[in-house]
Amino acid sequence: MLIRKGNGIASSEITPKGAYEAFQMDRRRFLGRVGAVGGAAAMAGMFPGTAGAETKLTTVASPYTVNETMTPEAKAKSYNNFYEFGTSKDEPARNAHTLRVRPWSVKVEGLVAKPQILDVDTIMAFKPIEQRVYRFRCVEAWSMVIPWDGYPLAEFIKAMNPLPAAKYVQFISCDDSKQMPLIGESGINPPYSEGLRMDEAMHPLALLTFGSYGETLANQQGAPIRVIVPWKYGFKSAKSIVRIRFVAKQPDTTWNMLNSEEYGFYSNVNPSVDHPRWSQAHERRLDSTNSIFPKTIATLPFNGYANEVAGLYAGMDLRKNY
Amino acid sequence: MSKRTIVWLKVVVHGVCLLPFAYLVGMNHTGELASKADPVNYITHFTGDWTLWLLLGCLAITPVRRLHSSLSWLIRLRRMVGLYAFFYATLHLLTYVLLFSGYDVPTAFAGVQAGHLAEPWRQFKLVWPRMLDDVEKRRFIQVGLLAWVILLALAATSPQRVLRAMGGKNWQRLHWLIYVAGIAGVVHYWWLVKTGVRAPMRVTIVLAVLLLARVGYVGVKKARSRE
């Protein structure tokens, strides 16, 4: 296993006492209390004029970090799948500047103690931002290694007090055609929807993500708030989230609805289950090696996170539940 | 049109058809290609796109020529454009075999330099099963390979003396397969892209117009001959 586990308790492990109340507090008072750790994160939101431009984040190191050659920032931010800004991989970087990432609010709804609308800066300041270097495996058989900045999605979910009936959590992305002029040509039915089973969403590896490379997310990466689920193919990690909905039944998810044979609801990285149009046994690692000859490596089950997450799927036939 | 003009035209067409290749080589030379996030993906799409456009260019020559008798000289450029389509199709196939498949070119090359002449073959044997798997299982690979095999057959029979040896009728029958290659190429593109991606739409529309132009021409000709 390539994950280095630290000895110390990560600050994110500390149970948020009265976390739920924290969200109800006056935002300014709350930010004041978060102080040093969350301060820089909150700064990003204090200057609405900088919308679209990345700002520095203060992050703490995380034990959930892989020791592999990182993908250069320029590559990670210029090669994106974000169909709302064009279907070719260089388009989002060119077109996503029209997305207005501040002010930004996220509606929390469904089977939850108290449905509410939260400002992204409030969500961001809720927990210390950790930097975690994760493998990122696209369903198209290429992969990157990216330092993501965020905190466990589980912390946020706990604070939202979902009802016991909530078995799944659904993420719905922005679908504003004014900010996303190409959304109608994307071929997907907006809004983009993704979802996780509750136990998957509560897994410590699932990251509620606000930044990468120590800065707030670039628009083409799904600013200002997205999830990163590193053991699943990239499309499962919804971008530019505007609604988080707790539901009892498996939600309809965009790619699964478009083509269920090619994109299962689970879509865990699995080298032994081919995509109908290509093998998933190998991947092109896009890192700092600048060569026209690709670095082709074997794809690992659960993208190398099997020790951590395989237990979530005990007893399930992963060939059927792809 | 004078012979001299035709020679000049051919030079120009050579230049135009080689331009994309020169652009790719130039990008490789400056390092721009290697520093792209996913060079293989870029090269694959680049060579695939140019194969299709040149194939459509080749298919466009007859309908355009029929528009007016003064355009009859265009036919003399058709073989060349077709051969360039084959050239880019071959680059496209080589991209798949040498870069996409996982074939380790640097190791093969280093082996040869160190005097191990069997190294490229050894590397090839390592990735061969993956390619075979693709050919067996994936219809977009099958239809793409079909298009390339057709283009290979047409390129091999393109010299004048082969035409003469085959006889005009046989030769023409074989070369009608260019339509199959064109359709197969476009289908290959559609079967490759993800649901919802409409990138192949442009080539599809052009192909449809060119095919309809032929159907229309034959229809009009038949109607006239009945009058």
| Chain B residues within 8 A of A146 when measuring between CB atoms | none
Average pLDDT, integer, range B4-25:
95
**Cβ neighbours of residue B81 under 8 Å, at least 6 residues apart?**
B13, B17, B54, B57, B58, B61
Q: Is B115 inside any structural domain?
A: yes
Q: Is B82 inside any structural domain?
A: yes
The answer to whether B34 contacts A296, with C-beta atoms less than 8 Å apart, is: no
Average pLDDT, integer, range A154-170:
97
* Confidence band of A3 (pLDDT split at 50, 70, 90): low
Q: Are A212 and A134 in contact (CB under 8 A)?
A: no
| pLDDT value at A208 more than 70 | yes
What's the whole-number average pLDDT of chain B? 94
Whether the CB of B32 is below 8 Å from some CB of chain A: the reply is no
The answer to whether A290 contacts B195, with C-beta atoms less than 8 Å apart, is: no
| pLDDT value at A46 more than 70 | no
CA–CA separation, A55 and A312 (whole Å): 36
Q: Is B222 inside any structural domain?
A: no
| pLDDT value at B197 more than 90 | no
C-beta contacts of B26-35 below 8 A and 24+ residues apart:
B28/A292, B31/A290, B33/A292, B34/A290, B34/A291, B34/A292, B35/A290
* Confidence band of B54 (pLDDT split at 50, 70, 90): very high
What's the whole-number average pLDDT of chain A? 87
Pairing verdict, β A226-228 and A207-212: antiparallel
Structural domain range at position A233: 40-313
The CA distance from B33 to the nearest CA of chain A, in Å, is: 7
Please report the pLDDT score of residue B195 as a whole number.
79
Range with lowest mean pLDDT among A17-26, A31-40, A199-208, B27-36: A31-40
Please report the pLDDT score of residue A34 as a whole number.
41
For an interface test with B, give the residue of A137, A280, A288, A292 to mutate (most B CBs within 10 A): A292
Q: pLDDT tens, B67-107? A: 888 888 899 999 999 999 999 999 999 999 999 999 999 99
Q: Are A213 and A241 in contact (CB under 8 A)?
A: no
CA–CA separation, B184 and A3 (whole Å): 46
Interaxial angle between packed helices B3-30 and B39-67, expressed in degrees from 0 to 180 and rounded to the nearest 10:
170
* Confidence band of B2 (pLDDT split at 50, 70, 90): confident
The answer to whether A290 contacts B140, with C-beta atoms less than 8 Å apart, is: no
Q: Is A6 inside any structural domain?
A: no
Please report the pLDDT score of residue B72 as a whole number.
86
Whether the CB of B126 is below 8 Å from some CB of chain A: the reply is no
Does the reported pTM lie above 0.90?
Answer: no
The CA distance from A221 to the nearest CA of chain B, in Å, is: 15
Q: Is B125 inside any structural domain?
A: yes
Whether the CB of B39 is below 8 Å from some CB of chain A: the reply is yes
Q: Are A121 and A211 in contact (CB under 8 A)?
A: no
Q: Is A31 inside any structural domain?
A: no
CATH of the domain at A49: 3.90.420.10
The CA distance from B80 to the nearest CA of chain A, in Å, is: 29
* Confidence band of B227 (pLDDT split at 50, 70, 90): confident
* Distance from the Cα of residue B30 to its chain's centroid: 26
Q: Are A305 and A205 in contact (CB under 8 A)?
A: yes
Please report the pLDDT score of residue B70 as a whole number.
87
Q: Is A17 inside any structural domain?
A: no
The neighbour count for residue A312, using CB atoms within 10 Å, is: 16
CA–CA separation, B76 and A165 (whole Å): 74
| Chain B residues within 8 A of A275 when measuring between CB atoms | none
Q: Is A139 inside any structural domain?
A: yes
Q: Is B227 inside any structural domain?
A: no
Q: How many domains does chain B have?
A: 1
Structural domain range at position B17: 3-215
Region for residue A274 given its phi and psi (left: phi exceeds 0; alpha: psi -120 to 50; beta: otherwise): beta
CA–CA separation, A142 and A158 (whole Å): 34
Considering just the CA atoms, what is the radius of gyration of chain B in Å?
20
Average pLDDT, integer, range B150-154:
98
Q: Is B24 inside any structural domain?
A: yes
| pLDDT value at A254 more than 60 | yes
Average pLDDT, integer, range B195-221:
91
Average pLDDT, integer, range A296-310:
97
Q: Is B100 inside any structural domain?
A: yes
Residue B79, classed as helix, strand or coil, is: helix
For residue A278, the 8-state DSSP code is B
Q: Is A231 inside any structural domain?
A: yes
For an interface test with A, give the residue of B32, B38, B103, B187 to mutate (most A CBs within 10 A): B38
| Chain B residues within 8 A of A78 when measuring between CB atoms | 37
| pLDDT value at A37 more than 90 | no
Q: Is B221 inside any structural domain?
A: no
| Chain A residues within 8 A of B35 when measuring between CB atoms | 290
Average pLDDT, integer, range B195-224:
91
Structure tokens, B145: 């390979």
Q: What are the φ/ψ torsions at residue A153 (nearest 5 degrees)?
A: -55, -35
Q: How many domains does chain A have?
A: 1
